């Protein structure tokens, strides 16, 4: 009788609605399998009806149209490998601590999305000169703790980002229809932005002439630098350059000898140019070997570093990445009340014995 | 189309060997289902052979015997509901932090074990007057970071504990054969002791005349009060009285209104007599309603407390349990270098808005 298989699972942070993170330390595939793809929900899963297979486009356009799922399949499409990262990823590591889902490093997954560029769709409807933002509404809705009433999950993009040729109405993930929990049948995919922008179960697109201020745009997904006031708030948009150490595991015990330190790095600005490793708590840094994939700036890259742990003792290992636009991970993340955009050095402590 | 089901999963702390904890905040059944039963391994899973279905008994006895699985099924048996808790449970919460698996509250599960008391078995072999301890060896083996060579997972019990009528050679869990990952086909079950004593894949029992000092007895599973010396070390044995808040989740945001605070309480000494809740960081305490099950001191009990959260603000909620032998949870756990026996008040912070 063969010894049974070991496999990781999603880590549950909340069950209703379902919020589960990827077991990032144990994932090696570039494309995250469906069962390990992180799930971030504001509301219970929506029921899928015939209506879900239609996408209405309205507002400041010339010809309001409803596209069926089949219509979309017939339009010119593209496929892109994209890292989707929740803006609350690593919230658990903020100091002082903040309220909200206590994500560690796994509110992040990667896949190959296929679909039609929003700009391709808008060729059919036209666009009025008054257009300022494009509003994307999902099918998921429910109540909030801070406001009375029911709300649909809806987010807008500035025109420029919405019309970027890689902002897609996706209908497939990794060669298959999008999994139900990832937004089936249609999901907006906004590369380089935190994933609150990539609206799941997409049901309508509305071109608007004034800034959208729904609660998922104007209350949540804002950086609030102050604990007790809203002064200085700024919208959460682009993914911050970041890296994560997958192995070794934090607070683990290792034998004397050579160990591979490895992990992932990604950014919303340009592409990763450098990952450095420190094994002495940040005093000295050495370059890691990074995966070469300059063709795709939207995906994470893997990196690895061989560490000769010849001396017994306790070590603080860190990684930090930098990108082609000159952004680099900070030693400390910029604290904000709702805990978004954490990207301080990834740190693990190990004991060699 | 119905909305998809949400379910929790085991939380992976390490994959080789497999170490995964129960999603305790999301579990309501008294008997932990197999897929949520925590897994704590020192070594890769052992292969199961014909030999695994035999249990040899030797050492300071009168008649060495080998019992087959079928022999055991024919002997007088008993069934007991037992909480098994890893002695490293909640290691993550020690301050200063310690190395080892960073278990939160889920290195703990509960089930109904059926089997033959060790003392029943020894009626067949007899016992010599020189007998001092009984050694139990599992089938799992491998290397350690701190010592050269290979080691079998083996632990001894003092004669008195081994001969307690509820110390069982179990062959069934919850009415079925023991799951492979829980020690199939035979597992020692030692109620009231931390679960390192409940040796999985049990293959031999040896009555010995001198204290056993294998590494899982004399190196691990010792409380070391000092960081840099072994002074004052004491073996890990009985489960400390403890409780855990399952809901609300730590750092979650709640609406103004009534909320159920609920969780579990258990002890290795006597039975639980009291669980108290504080919603103001430990200044005032109120009794929770506790499940009445005086018939079984080995299982956890559930408790619940209705909290009228009428004021917006940030709250520190705590639970603490006490037992019939006068043990009570401390405000701070007793720090020890390997991080065993954590049982400080369970604490969650919530924001009401």
pLDDT band at A294; cut points 50, 70, 90: low
pLDDT of res. B5: 82
The answer to whether B312 contacts chain A (CB < 8 Å) is: no
The answer to whether B34 contacts chain A (CB < 8 Å) is: no
pLDDT of res. A311: 97
Name the token pair of A289: 């070997």
How far apart CA B261 and CA B254 sit, in angstroms, is 12
Q: Name the residue with tokens 């033959």.
A: B116
Asked if pLDDT for residue B2 goes beyond 60, the answer is: no
Inter-chain touch B12–A8, beta carbons under 8 Å: yes
Count of C-beta atoms within a 10 Å radius of residue B53: 18
The answer to whether B284 contacts chain A (CB < 8 Å) is: no
The string of DSSP letters for A21-61 reads E--GGG---SSPPGGGS-EE-SSSPPPP-GGGGEEEEEESS
pLDDT of res. A3: 64
| CATH 3.90.420.10 in chain A, residue ranges | 11-220
B133 sits in which H/E element: strand B133-143
Asked if pLDDT for residue A4 goes beyond 90, the answer is: no
How far apart CA B258 and CA B307 sit, in angstroms, is 6
The SS3 of residue B51 is helix
User: Tens of pLDDT along B98-153?
Assistant: 999 999 999 999 999 999 999 999 999 999 999 999 999 999 999 999 999 999 99
Report chain B residues whose CB lies below 8 A from the CB of A251.
97-100, 102
The answer to whether A95 contacts chain B (CB < 8 Å) is: no
Phi, psi of A200 (to 5 degrees): -85, 165
What mean pLDDT value characterizes chain B? 97
pLDDT of res. A1: 52
Distance from CA of B2 to the nearest CA of A (A): 6
Inter-chain touch A3–B100, beta carbons under 8 Å: no
Report chain B residues whose CB lies below 8 A from the CB of A141.
none
The answer to whether A10 contacts chain B (CB < 8 Å) is: yes
CATH T-level topology, domain B11-220: Sulfite Oxidase; Chain A, domain 2 (3.90.420)
Q: Name the residue with tokens 């494009």.
A: A134
- % of chain A residues with pLDDT over 90: 96
Report chain A residues whose CB lies below 8 A from the CB of B13.
249
Identify the DSSP state of B69.
H
The answer to whether B8 contacts chain A (CB < 8 Å) is: yes
Average pLDDT over residues B264-279: 97
pLDDT of res. B308: 97
pLDDT of res. A277: 98
Q: Which of A10, A98, A353 is nearest residue B145 as measured by Cβ atoms?
A: A353
Average pLDDT over residues B31-50: 96
Average pLDDT over residues A57-85: 98
Inter-chain touch B353–A145, beta carbons under 8 Å: yes
Name the token pair of B283: 């200044």
User: Tens of pLDDT along A179-203?
Assistant: 999 999 999 999 999 999 999 999 9
User: Tens of pLDDT along B20-36?
Assistant: 999 999 999 999 999 99
Report chain A residues whose CB lies below 8 A from the CB of B100.
251, 253
User: Tens of pLDDT along B58-97?
Assistant: 999 999 999 999 999 999 999 999 999 999 999 999 999 9
How far apart CA B306 and CA B130 sit, in angstroms, is 56
Which residues in chain A (181-200) have CB-CB distances under 8 A to chain B? 181
Q: Give Dmax over CA atoms of chain B in angstroms.
A: 71
> Going by C-beta distance under 8 Å and a sequence separation of 6 or more, which residues neighbour residue B12?
A8, A9, A11, A23, A25, A26, B18, B19, B20
CATH T-level topology, domain B242-352: Immunoglobulin-like (2.60.40)
What mean pLDDT value characterizes chain A? 97
User: Tens of pLDDT along A310-346?
Assistant: 999 999 999 999 999 999 999 999 999 999 999 999 9
Distance from CA of B114 to the nearest CA of A (A): 23
HSE, side-chain direction, 13 A CA sphere, residue A348: 25
Average pLDDT over residues A81-85: 98
Inter-chain touch A14–B249, beta carbons under 8 Å: yes
pLDDT of res. A292: 85
| CATH 2.60.40.650 in chain B, residue ranges | 242-352
- % of chain B residues with pLDDT over 90: 96
pLDDT band at A224; cut points 50, 70, 90: very high
Q: Which of A4, A47, A350 is nearest residue B1 as measured by Cβ atoms?
A: A47
């Amino acid at each position: 009788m063969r010894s049974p298989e070991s496999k990781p699972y999603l880590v549950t942070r909340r069950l209703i609605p379902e919020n589960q993170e990827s077991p990032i330390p144990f994932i090696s595939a570039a494309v995250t399998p469906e069962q390990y793809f992180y799930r971030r929900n504001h509301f219970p899963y929506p029921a899928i009806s015939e209506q879900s297979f239609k996408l209405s486009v309205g507002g400041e356009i010339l010809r309001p149209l409803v596209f069926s799922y089949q219509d979309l399949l017939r339009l010119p499409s593209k496929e892109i490998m994209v890292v989707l990262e929740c803006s609350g990823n690593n919230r658990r590591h903020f100091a002082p601590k903040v309220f909200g889902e206590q994500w560690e490093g796994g509110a992040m997954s990667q896949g190959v999305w296929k679909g039609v560029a929003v700009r391709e769709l808008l060729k059919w409807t036209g666009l009025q000169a008054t257009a300022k933002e494009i509003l994307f509404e999902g099918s998921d809705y429910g109540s909030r703790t801070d406001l009375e009433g029911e709300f649909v999950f809806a987010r807008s993009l500035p025109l420029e980002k919405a019309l970027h040729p890689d902002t897609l109405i996706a209908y497939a993930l990794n060669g298959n229809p999008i999994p139900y929990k990832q937004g089936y049948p249609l999901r907006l995919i906004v590369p380089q932005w935190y994933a609150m922008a990539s609206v799941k179960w997409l049901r309508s697109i509305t071109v608007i002439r004034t800034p959208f201020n729904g609660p998922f745009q104007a209350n949540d997904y804002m950086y609030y630098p102050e604990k007790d006031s809203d002064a200085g708030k700024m919208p959460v948009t682009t993914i911050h350059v970041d890296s994560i150490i997958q192995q070794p595991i934090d607070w683990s015990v290792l034998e004397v000898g050579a160990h591979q330190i490895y992990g992932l790095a990604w950014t919303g600005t340009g592409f990763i140019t450098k990952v450095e490793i420190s094994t002495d708590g940040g005093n000295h840094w050495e370059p890691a070997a990074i995966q070469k994939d300059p063709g795709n700036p939207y995906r994470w890259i893997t990196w690895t570093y061989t560490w000769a742990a010849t001396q017994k003792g306790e070590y603080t290992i860190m990684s930090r990445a930098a990108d082609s636009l000159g952004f680099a991970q900070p030693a400390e993340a910029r604290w904000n009340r709702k805990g978004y955009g954490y990207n301080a050095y990834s740190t693990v402590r190990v004991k060699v014995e």
